[in-house]
Structure 1
Amino acid sequence: MVERSSRFHRSRYEKYRGGPDPLAPPLDLREALDEIGADVMAGTSPQRALRELLRRGTDGMRGLDELREQISRRRNELLKKRNLDGTFAEIRELLDRAVLEERKQLARDLDDDARFAEMQIGNLPPSTAAAVNELAEYDWRSPSARADYEKIRDLLGRELLEQRFAGMKEALEGADESDRQAITDMLADLNDLLAKHNRGEDTTEAFDEFMAKHGQFFPENPADTAELVESLAKRSAAAQQFYNSLSPEQRAELDQLSQQAFGSPELMAALAGVDAQLQMARPDLDWDGSQGFSGDQPMGFGEAAAAMADLAELDQLGEAMSQQYAGADLADIDLEALARQLGPQAAVDARTLQRLEQALRDQGFFERGVDGELRLSPKAMRQLGQSVLADIADRLTGRGERATRQSGRLGEPTGATREWAFGDTEPWDVSRTITNAVMREASAGEFRAGRPVRLDISDVEITETEARSQAAVVLLVDTSFSMEMEGRWTPMKRTAIALNHLISTRFRTDELEIIAFGREARTIDVGELAGLSPRMEQGTNLHHALLLAQRHLRRHPNATPVVLIVTDGEPTAHLDPSGHPFFFYPPHPETIGLTVAELDHVARMGAQVTIFRLGEDPGLAMFIDNVARRIGGRVVAPDVDGLGAAVVGDYLRGRRG
């Protein structure tokens, strides 16, 4: 009979705490760019749009504002929960206990000296510090009373050292005279080292000697004098802020009590020398600040100094999160400090924001214009155009149309292929599709000779085609201030961006020109239009815009002319014979006459004219209806949200004849 034994191994799974999640999805730059693009089209500069994105964050990633708010809550919690009375209360308790035990002992003693001691004990001043100082030379009869009094001196020394050197309170508990002497020697040598550093001397050798002798007092193990100064100066500044935060009465008490630290006034003199040297080395720290603690949880001197250091660190983090100072950079955020104060997830979120900003810049989504201002790059505009067009395509598809995939209908192959997407009607490229399937199965180790190849939807590629005819397209967009006032500014821009992307990617033989018209008209590229800010300017100079449109149509005499006009107001401006704009409201008869004449010229060029009327202005509706009948054009009155779908759909209908 064979006896078998089995062992079971248990595994415990916990949340990953080693920094950013290695299994987290990559940064979604497309979503970030969409949000930036929306702000830019609304009139925000690209630089500010980027900052706004980082401030508000994205889905699943906290932004700077939320992190800053958490920092503020953490800061308020510290101030409202804690107070600075801890060590004072502890000293008072030890003193009261020592006096009580001494009185008990004196009551049992019957000699005259005991009666004199009772008088001395009974007439102690009410001030804790004054009483402690008066008892400095008192000959205690009760051993327990003497022990409690010595605890006061020991506690004072440890707390004052804890303010400047982390961990001293626990390390020196129950310290003897040799331990105190070691502290005294360390402070003397530290003063010498800091003095050399402040004089600009080379302290490499002196630092090594100092650490070899006193390294046990510095568990953080600084690498050089600069690191030592950095860590000590922040705690020293926090100790000074603690002192500044005390009431005048508490400061007076502390000044007197500190003379009894370890029973040696020399300790305070040495600490004062260290503080002076550190302030000279780091005058940039806040040595004059104070904090208003108002809670009911008392803190000792050392704990309070640590809380002051936490508050200073929180203030620095809050400033870095605000990004409101000159030369602000997300790299200024101290991730280690953020993790200490708010936990590791906060540091992960901040690191993700840093990576997002860097990725957007590294991917070339921003560039400097000729004026030095940051603007969206052509690459960013392509991405933005693709996103906007996809959104418009959803609207068109909902109306039973397939707007974005019509480039191949009745077209000829271009020789290029692309991945199939929902809505495509172009023929499959069989060779490329099967090759993709074979490569996919081979990379996954699933390919077997002689076995049928299984196709996946991701394998399918289609043959790209182009329409046979060429069109010269002019998009005239109204940029008068009423477009901004009525909420039509951003939809107008989205429309232009979508049409530009559609033509540049699906109808590459078509020639698009965008013309913006307010009091004057000008041709404008889509990138400039995206960042165009509204101007407080009256005037709708459709006359000038039509003149520029005809120039574009003449440059392409063999192309089908297509004119698309987006406006929300009657023509109120025209160019006078000198070339200067003339504005008058209500519309001047001369303005109307010149505008209609140019529409007639466009119609005689054979252009398909569609006017997209925004708003319910009866004067505009009458003008456009009359003009459309006159030149055989079309009028479309979409709502603001449907403008893009209306313009793109009209263009595609024209392409399909």
Structure 2
Amino acid sequence: MKKSPPKTGFVFTKHNPKEQSIFDRLFEIFQELITHTSGDFDEAIDWLRQLDEEYKLTTPDYTIDDFIQELKDRGFIREVFRPDGSGNGKGDGKVSITEKLERALRKRSLEQIFGKLKRAASGNHKTKYRGKGDEQSGEFRSYQFGDALERISMTESLKNAQINHGFENFRMTENDLVVEETMFKAQMSTVLMIDISHSMILYGEDRITPAKKVAMALAELITTRYPKDTLDILVFGNDAWPIKIKDLPYLNVGPYHTNTVAGLQLAMDMLRRKKNTNKQIFMITDGKPSCLRLPDGRYYKNSVGLDEYIVNKCYMMAAQARKLHIPITTFMIASDPYLQQFVDHFTEANQGKAFYTGLQGLGEMIFTDYENNRKRKIR
């Protein structure tokens, strides 16, 4: 009896997801809580215990205390001894998060907001300008004296030689050579401004946590995918000051007004020191400018409406940034019409861009705008 050939094709089976360990499940929740509490370990654990009571996240064999011990064993937290030397590593000292957990929070923010991205080669910043770059464009031109030999396309050059001279009298001359065009991979220097005025937590809406997540994700994106780019982060309230990437999980709002001018001044000072041609400012804010620092050191504050004196100073800073070829992209996470009108005038003065968005989708918008800006050389 003749045997029939074996059947080929796809076999579909029921998907059995990999079971998540109790630690992994708790760790996912803990990372969210530690971000909301600005790095306050004790408060995050208190919230985790409350969630455990309500949703039964642990078992008798694995408790919250076991989870805390495993966090220590894995190097995510450490016990800080008191000045008097007390604290013996058994939980009676103050607990703080480590650099390992800070990196994990940045990576998690990146995956949450931008999706899982693989690290690419250095650069990846394409511009519309062709020349002696390092990104192949797929277009060809005739060889010119001075072109690098490794840029010569041998396949296209041999094809030209066959067409021009035939098989019987085959030879290759300089006129047969073609090179593939390349694109520049420009570098970008970015300053991210984050509003930490009191309004970022007013009206029952937490706006600072999404802003922190965006900052952590952008930092992780640039350091892993675009290592030649630079990112500086500053916060602004009554004044403005720079913060380090490792400090982002601990960022919190304060009893501040909004000194947008101070933030812009510091951002431009930071960018003046950068050698990159391409520079930009991203500003995340939800409130109107309401504060200025006067030359004598006193603060001029006005939270009622839009103060003409403060607003005009903001317009002047926007115009100054334009003269320095520094575009400002404003991400406005508020919907007040009169505030949008201010942002419109501010954007017009700078010839930058403005996005009026809620908290949802903020990260995706910043990521898209960052990628788009990297596709052209800002002049």
Q: TM-score, normalised by structure 1?
A: 0.40
Is the contact between residue 37 and residue 43 of structure 2 (CA under 8 Å) also seen in structure 1? Answer: no
Structure 1 alignment gaps of length 5 or more: 1-23, 64-344, 395-402, 413-466
> Is the alpha carbon distance of 1:391 and 1:408 closer, same or farther for their aligned partners in structure 2, counting shifts above 3 Å?
same
Match of 2:104 in 1: 383
Kindly indicate whether residue 357 of structure 2 is the aligned counterpart of residue 362 of structure 1. Answer: no
**Contact 1:518 / 1:539 at 8 angstroms: preserved in 2?**
yes
Q: 2:42 aligns with which of 33, 38, 47?
A: 47
- 1:561 is paired with a residue whose SS is strand
Aligned: 1:547 with 2:265: yes
* C-alpha distance after superposition, 1:259-305 (max 9, x if no partner): xxxxxxxxxxxxxxxxxxxxxxxxxxxxxxxxxxxxxxxxxxxxxxx
Higher relative contact order (CA 8 A, sep 6+): 2
**CA distance in structure 2 between the aligned counterparts of 1:43 and 1:534, rounded to whole angstroms:** 11
Distance 1:655 1:407, change over 3 A: farther
CA distance in 1, matches of 2:231, 2:26: 28
- 2:233 and 2:296 map into 1 onto residues whose CA distance is 25
One-letter code aligned to 1:541: N
**Residue by residue, what CA displacement relative to the aligned partner does 1:82-134 show, whole Å, maximum 9, x if unpaired?**
xxxxxxxxxxxxxxxxxxxxxxxxxxxxxxxxxxxxxxxxxxxxxxxxxxxxx
Q: Deviations over 1:597-644 (max 9, x none)?
A: 222222222123211111111221001111112211111112211111
Residue 237 (structure 1) aligns with = none
Q: Does 2:319 correspond to 1:600? A: yes
Between 545-554 and 576-585, report the one with greater CA deviation: 576-585
| 1:563 aligns to 2:281 (yes or no) | yes
Residue equivalent to 1:170 = none
Q: Is the 8 A contact 2:315 2:349 kept in 1?
A: no
- For residues 407 and 627 of structure 1, do their structure 2 counterparts lie closer, same or farther at Cα, with a shift above 3 Å needed? farther
2:330 matched residue in structure 1 = 611
SS at match of 1:62: coil
Task: Assess, with a 3 A threshold, how the Cα gap between structure 1 residues 370 and 496 changes in structure 2: closer, same or farther.
Answer: farther
Equivalent residues in 2 for 1:94-493, closer than 5 Å? 346=60, 348-350=61-63, 353-367=64-78, 374-394=95-115, 404-405=117-118, 407-408=120-121, 411=124, 468-485=185-202, 486-493=205-212
Q: Secondary structure at the match of 1:615?
A: coil
Distance in 1, matches of 2:336 and 2:324, equals: 29
Match of 2:232 among 498, 507, 513: 513
Equivalent position to 1:575, from 273, 293, 296: 293
Q: For 1:533 and 1:556, locate their aligned partners in 2 and report how far apart those are by CA, in whole Å.
A: 28
What is the aligned length? 287
Q: Partner of 1:641: helix, strand, or coil?
A: coil
2:344 to 597, 612, 625: 625
Structure 2 runs not aligned, ≥5 long: 1-18, 84-93, 126-183
Deviation at residue 569 of structure 1 after TM alignment: 1.4
* Letter matched to residue 653 of structure 1: N
Say whether residues 1:584 and 2:297 are aligned partners: no
> Cα gap change, 1:635/1:577 in structure 2, threshold over 3 Å: closer, same or farther?
same
TM-score by length of 2: 0.67
Instruction: State the AA in 1 paired with 2:279.
Output: P
SS at match of 2:284: strand
Q: Aligned pair in 2 of structure 1 residues 469, 571: CA closer, same or farther (>3 Å)?
A: same
One-letter amino acid matched to 1:363? R
> Percent identical across equivalent pairs?
24
Higher strand proportion (structure 1 or 2): 2
Tell me, in whole angstroms, the C-alpha distance in 1 between the residues paired with 2:200 and 2:272: 30
AA aligned to 2:62 is: D
Are 2:235 and 1:522 equivalent residues in the alignment?
A: no
